[in-house]
Amino acid sequence: MKIEQITPFIGAEMSDVTFEDLARPEHTAVLVDALDQHELVVIRSIDLSPEQQIDLARRIGTPVPFVLTRYRHPDHPEIMISSNEVKANKPVGVARVGNFWHQDSTFVADPAPYTMLHGVNVPSTTGHTLFASAKDVYDRIPAVWKTKLDGRTGVHTVAKRLRIAEQHVGLSVAELLAHTDEKHPRVRHPLIRTEPVTGRRYLYGSREYMHSVLGFDANDNEAFFSLTDELIQDPDHVYTHRWTQQDLVMWKTATTFHAATAVTPGVPRTVHRISIAAGTP
């Protein structure tokens, strides 16, 4: 088993490793340590069945079934299927997800700490995934803004990204927003947090899953979002993962910003996703 850093700011790649290797407790510990140190771990072309992916997730924590049942794996509710494929006139999974910069599920009070993706049917020429470190982003925040953000609270919401459903037809924008806030209440998180393993500070929040910074006026909020957009998306600090078949990609949700890029129309793509909560079942 080898571990090599991918970039100076995020990511490590593990090689010469199989599922059987990772199933050994000492190697699972190495994997978790790599996640703690590098935020993101990539294992190229590792052949995993759905059962093996779930087994590996359980060695790290507790798999959390996806909230929308229609996008769960038909035999394994722990797996969410992200796919643009259609079989028997039915979508295999959710076709368009995560195509914006975010940290996973900041709009809930206690997000699962790990995310695991397995590339079941993935092209290498399109549908890449972009990654940036929230620690690296914080390091690059100008000093005046660090002072301004210290001790602040972010108000998080899914309202900007909630999909319009059939039952929403006829609602005004105000009614839709009120419905969203009732069904998915806004939550608050410290804007600047400290990662307990490394002791490094990081930014927690981004434009698409945040309503505002508590105490900021409209101008301050827009300035904050513009600054963080620029820092997160700086191409010199972004790792682009170009998928190959059977890649396994895992990251720490709190400290990893990511975004899915578009898939060329007509090109099939299917990925199996598991959210992993803390603690083992």
CA atoms within 13 A on the CB side of 101: 25
Tokens of 70: 């229609």
At residue 179, the pLDDT reads 62
At residue 23, the pLDDT reads 93
At residue 150, the pLDDT reads 97
At residue 58, the pLDDT reads 96
Nearest C-alpha neighbor of 179 from the set 194, 163, 191: 163
pLDDT in tens, the chain (281 residues): 899 999 999 999 999 999 999 999 999 999 999 999 999 999 999 999 999 999 999 999 999 987 767 778 989 999 999 999 999 888 889 887 889 999 999 999 999 999 999 999 999 999 999 999 999 999 999 999 999 999 999 999 987 756 666 666 666 666 766 666 767 789 999 999 999 999 999 999 999 999 999 999 999 999 999 999 999 999 999 999 999 999 999 999 999 999 999 999 999 999 999 999 987 65
Q: What contacts 176, CB < 8 A, 6 or more positions away? A: 164, 168
At residue 277, the pLDDT reads 95
At residue 95, the pLDDT reads 85
Spatial separation of the C-alpha atoms in residues 273 and 240, rounded to whole Å = 18
Nearest C-alpha neighbor of 130 from the set 242, 240, 28, 47: 240
- Give the start-end residues of each E strand in 12-157: 12-15, 40-43, 62-64, 80-83, 86-87, 90-91, 114-121, 129-133, 153-156
At residue 257, the pLDDT reads 98
Distances in Å between the alpha carbon of 108 and those of 89, 210, 227?
A: 34, 11, 24
